[in-house]
Amino acid sequence: MSLAHKLKKVSIYFIRGKPYWRSVEHNNWKVKSTIGPFMGMHIKDRLFDNHYDKFDEAGLPIRMAEGKKVYNYTTICSYALANYELYLETADEKYTLPLFKTLDFLKQEHETTPYNGIVFPGKQDSLSAMNQGEALAVIARCYELNPQEELVELAGKIIRAYQHRVEEQGVLGRFQDLKDTSWYEEKAVIPGKHILNGMCYATVGLRDISIAIPSLEEAKSLWQAGLQYLKEALPLYDTGRWTYYWVADKDPHYIASMMYHNLHICQLSYLAKVTGDEEFEQWARRFKKYSGSSLNRMLAGVQIIKGKWQKR
């Protein structure tokens, strides 16, 4: 991540201006799509703020660590989805190339589970529902552009991880304090650290693939289940002034950065838009009101600095 990118993330605590994430407020695309831009957000903004600053020979974004290439599924998928947004805007097919390069990468670089599912491990080799969801989002758009039966099978195997518990090498977790509420875990570990933005990404990936490939009935039912899990758990993420990044079963809850708080607002607004459920919009408005307070922003910044210091 470039210095300019880091400074931009810090400045939003103190300066009211263009938020890090923006919701798409129009639908005047040159290319018609039943799915649209991922999560209804301007992911293309990340293409212009140097978020993706290193690439391999195939044109996939990477980072370097100790002289070695490191591939991150979320980074690669988001790069593809950002380019897809430009394709919708311009109808220039060059912007679909990263999408299909990413598809090829997903076909080759994954792990197979004992239940014949396909998973994409995250940090420290833990499984990640966010990776699963963004992979589904990429496949959905590839299928819309070039429907192939092999993509139906691929998506079906990726979806299986949502149906298996973390202890079964899946990504389905459960809240310790909400016994009947499950969660699609961005970080599939025990005890759980239930991350809000990752859950939203994972859930919307199910929506996208169910629209692109309606025959995947399990994707539709898991999408609906994810919406219910979110509504049950959202009160836990409200501090009264801000949002939590994660709600943990054992460790302390972790406050969201300004960037992630802004992301929560965009994600919940999008869920309200595509479902027509006013409850999501009420949460989005509540959290947006929090971020309008300079005091709340500064207090969140102080809590984050304190949390990082305590981890040292």
- Mark whether 179 and 168 lie in a shared domain: yes
Taking the C-alpha atoms of residue 79 and residue 212, their distance in angstroms, rounded to an integer, is 20
Q: Where is the domain boundary, 235, 260, 293?
A: 235
- Mark whether 89 and 183 lie in a shared domain: yes
**Residue written as token pair 């593809």:** 80
Q: Say if residues 167 and 114 touch (Cβ distance below 8 Å).
A: no
DSSP tag of 168: G
Q: Does the residue 23 lie in any domain?
A: no
- Mark whether 306 and 222 lie in a shared domain: no
Q: Does the residue 64 lie in any domain?
A: yes
Strand positions, DSSP E, 213-288: 244-248, 254-255
pLDDT at 5: 60
Token pair listed for 97: 């190339």
Q: Which CATH number does the domain housing residue 119 bear? A: 1.50.10.20
- Mark whether 210 and 246 lie in a shared domain: no
- Mark whether 58 and 189 lie in a shared domain: yes
- Give the 3-state secondary structure of residue 239: coil
Taking the C-alpha atoms of residue 220 and residue 224, their distance in angstroms, rounded to an integer, is 6
Q: Where is the domain boundary, 181, 212, 235?
A: 235
pLDDT at 165: 97
Q: Does the residue 225 lie in any domain?
A: yes
- Mark whether 52 and 128 lie in a shared domain: yes
Over the chain (312 residues), the average pLDDT of each successive run of 10 is 60 68 92 96 94 95 90 97 98 98 97 96 87 98 97 98 97 92 96 97 98 98 98 97 96 93 97 97 97 87 76 58
User: Around Cβ 221, how many Cβ atoms within 10 Å?
Assistant: 14
pLDDT at 183: 98
- Mark whether 277 and 144 lie in a shared domain: no
- Give the 3-state secondary structure of residue 71: coil
Q: Where is the domain boundary, 172, 206, 235?
A: 235
**HSE, side-chain direction, 13 A CA sphere, residue 301:** 14
Q: Does the residue 7 lie in any domain?
A: no
Q: Say if residues 219 and 213 touch (Cβ distance below 8 Å).
A: yes
Give percent helix, percent strand, percent coil of the chain, each to the nearest 5.
55, 10, 35
Tell me the backbone φ, ψ of residue 173, rounded to 5 degrees: -105, -175
- Mark whether 294 and 242 lie in a shared domain: yes
Q: Does the residue 97 lie in any domain?
A: yes
- Mark whether 157 and 247 lie in a shared domain: no
Looking at the 3D structure of the chain, how many domains does it have?
2
- Mark whether 90 and 73 lie in a shared domain: yes
Q: Does the residue 6 lie in any domain?
A: no
Pairing of strands 68-70, 63-65: antiparallel
- Mark whether 205 and 294 lie in a shared domain: no
- Mark whether 192 and 244 lie in a shared domain: no
pLDDT at 6: 62
Taking the C-alpha atoms of residue 79 and residue 105, their distance in angstroms, rounded to an integer, is 13
Structural domain of 226: 29-235
Q: Say if residues 142 and 106 touch (Cβ distance below 8 Å).
A: no
Q: Does the residue 19 lie in any domain?
A: no
Token pair listed for 120: 């994409």
Q: Does the residue 20 lie in any domain?
A: no
